Amino acid sequence: MMLSKIVLCVTPKQATVGLWRLGKLVSCTAFANNGSGREEFRQFLQHHPNVPIQLIADAVEEDFRPETMPHAFGGARHEMVERKLNQLYRNTSYRTAQFIGREADKRRDDLFLFMSLTNPDIVAPWVTAAEELQAPLAGVYLLPVVSQLLIKELKLKNADLLLMSRQSAGLRQTYFSGQRLRVSRLTPLAGMDERQINKLYVSETEKTRLYLVSLRMIARENRLHLVFPTAEYVDAGVTQQLEQTQGVSCNIIGAAELARRLGLNADLLKRYPDMLHMHVLARSKPICNLAHARQTRHYQLHKLRIGINIASAACLSGAAIVAAANLFSAADLNQKLQEAAAQTRQQEKLYTEVASNFPKTPLPGNDLKAAVELAKKIGELNRTPQRLMQVVGETLDIQREIQLNRLRWMFSEDANARDDEGKGAAPSGGVAIIAPPSSSPTGLYEIGFIDGEISNFSGDYRAALASVNALAERFKQNKAVEHVVILQQPVNTSSFANLQGSTLDEQAQQLPAAQFKIKIILKPGMTT
């Protein structure tokens, strides 16, 4: 029922009901505007639940009033319009206003057309019936407002247009200025025969023209363009009379032409005169709803339900599309996987054929190579303290006053390794930081720590210092040595340390030992 629509045209005498589905008229019927007619309408609604209903009111008890208001927008405009509606139409809830445009004067006020159904009783029973059945009433519209949609549908673009139509309620004449509704009249035709009605066409047109001139809606010299869409046969004499009416040009659109332009059955149009407007409303986006929000509550709920259902469908459809894409992609990947697996098997088979001629081996050739080269590499890293001993021996042979107490050799990744056991690990005697040597290609350093003392020390610290410094200098001059640092001097002459002793030291029998410590880093060398 989502794409169905019921349009109801209510007049004081009857109500015509049509059901549209996908913009096509499905069924049409008329009910008398009395208790039994409304009961039939109820039954009709029960047969078509949850179908939005649009109601057209066509009655003499209507009012159109153009008004100007100071230019405003948003909430202020809405408030002013509401106030004006309350002021103009206190006794009816079926009222609304249509913004027409701005005035041309300096103030450029807003121009509105206020409209109402001044006798709500005409539509109230029908609205109540819909409300009781919780049918979604979408809106209540005045027939001249729907005429505004009709002239758009018929593409009538005349500046001063008088649309005349024969409705079940009577003869309707609606004036449009610049395609905007300005005023409308309904003349009941009850009790008149065709001859009288034909006369009425002419007389009412003349009256309307004079009325518009009196309201200064058109100038006296302006020509009013009369358009008369009708399914009824119009006598040629009437057409001639209408065209001869002063200041009026006439265009009668016959049943066949209407049926062609609007896609309606001509016979149906003759049978139900209100069908023209009902059909236009069923296919267009309506404007100027007179119904109060509480009357369209079920319609709002209906829209919300449809919205949720659409969201559900969209969600499911989206997920289904994505899921289908995923499955398609997975199938494609599976195909590629099978192909890759087959190719892998083929390559393995080829390799197995080739490998059958290989010598028997516990490991792949690459691993054999890696193991052998690893053993070779570790073998190349084999070092002994021999080079350090040579360097120390050669130097001490020259400086015989030095006695070697301890020699430590390290083969370490850390060039800044410390001799934890020996004394004076921290540099002293003016050497603050051990400069890092140039990087070793193997990542390992041969490091030596030399602990010694001055033999037969007499207490001459100056001579002892000179001797140790000379030793360090000789180490530096050795081609196998990369770096030398004195970690401990025979005496600490730093201003940042305590220095104790006695001037009688030289005469003392027991002198403290003049011990020192030197660190050497050897240049990267070959295996010894």
Partner 1 sequence: MMFTAHDWRKLQLPLITFGVTLIIATLLYSTTDARKTKMQQLLQTQQNSLNQARQRYQTSGEEKENIVRYLSAYQALVQQGFVGEEQRVDWIDDLRNINIRYKLFGVSYDIGAQQDYKPAFPLDIGNFKLHRSVMKLTFAMLHENDLLTLFQALPGEVNPPFMLRDCTITRVSGGGRGKFVPNLNNSCEIDWLTITEPPTAGDQS
Q: What is the dihedral of CA 120, 30, 283, 294, to 10 degrees?
A: 30
Nearest approach, Cβ of residue 458 and partner 1 (Å): 22
Nearest approach, Cβ of residue 494 and partner 1 (Å): 28
In the bound state with partner 1, the residue whose beta carbon lies nearer, of 343 and 494, is 343
Cβ atoms of 266 and 231 within 8 Å: the answer is: yes
User: Comparing C-alpha atoms, which of 433, 436, 446 is closest to residue 487?
Assistant: 433
Nearest approach, Cβ of residue 414 and partner 1 (Å): 8
Nearest approach, Cβ of residue 488 and partner 1 (Å): 17
In the bound state with partner 1, the residue whose beta carbon lies nearer, of 256 and 350, is 350
In the bound state with partner 1, the residue whose beta carbon lies nearer, of 274 and 453, is 453
Consecutive H or E run containing 373: helix 365-380
In the bound state with partner 1, the residue whose beta carbon lies nearer, of 117 and 410, is 410
Nearest approach, Cβ of residue 365 and partner 1 (Å): 3
Q: How many CA atoms lie within 13 A of 96 on its CB side?
A: 16
Report CA 468 to chain centroid distance, whole Å: 80
Consecutive H or E run containing 102: strand 95-102
In the bound state with partner 1, the residue whose beta carbon lies nearer, of 267 and 413, is 413
The length of the chain, given as a count of residues: 528
Residues 6+ apart with CB under 8 A from 285: none
Nearest approach, Cβ of residue 214 and partner 1 (Å): 45
Question: Cα dihedral sign for 267, 270, 274, 277?
Answer: positive
Structure tokens, 204: 């009412």
User: Comparing C-alpha atoms, which of 168, 146, 156 is closest to residue 31?
Assistant: 168
In the bound state with partner 1, the residue whose beta carbon lies nearer, of 370 and 466, is 370
In the bound state with partner 1, the residue whose beta carbon lies nearer, of 23 and 365, is 365
Nearest approach, Cβ of residue 397 and partner 1 (Å): 14
Nearest approach, Cβ of residue 353 and partner 1 (Å): 9
Structure tokens, 514: 């003049």
Cβ atoms of 255 and 270 within 8 Å: the answer is: yes
In the bound state with partner 1, the residue whose beta carbon lies nearer, of 301 and 466, is 301
Q: State the greatest distance between any 2 C-alpha atoms of the chain, in Å, as a whole number.
A: 163
User: Comparing C-alpha atoms, which of 282, 265, 296, 264 is closest to residue 7?
Assistant: 282
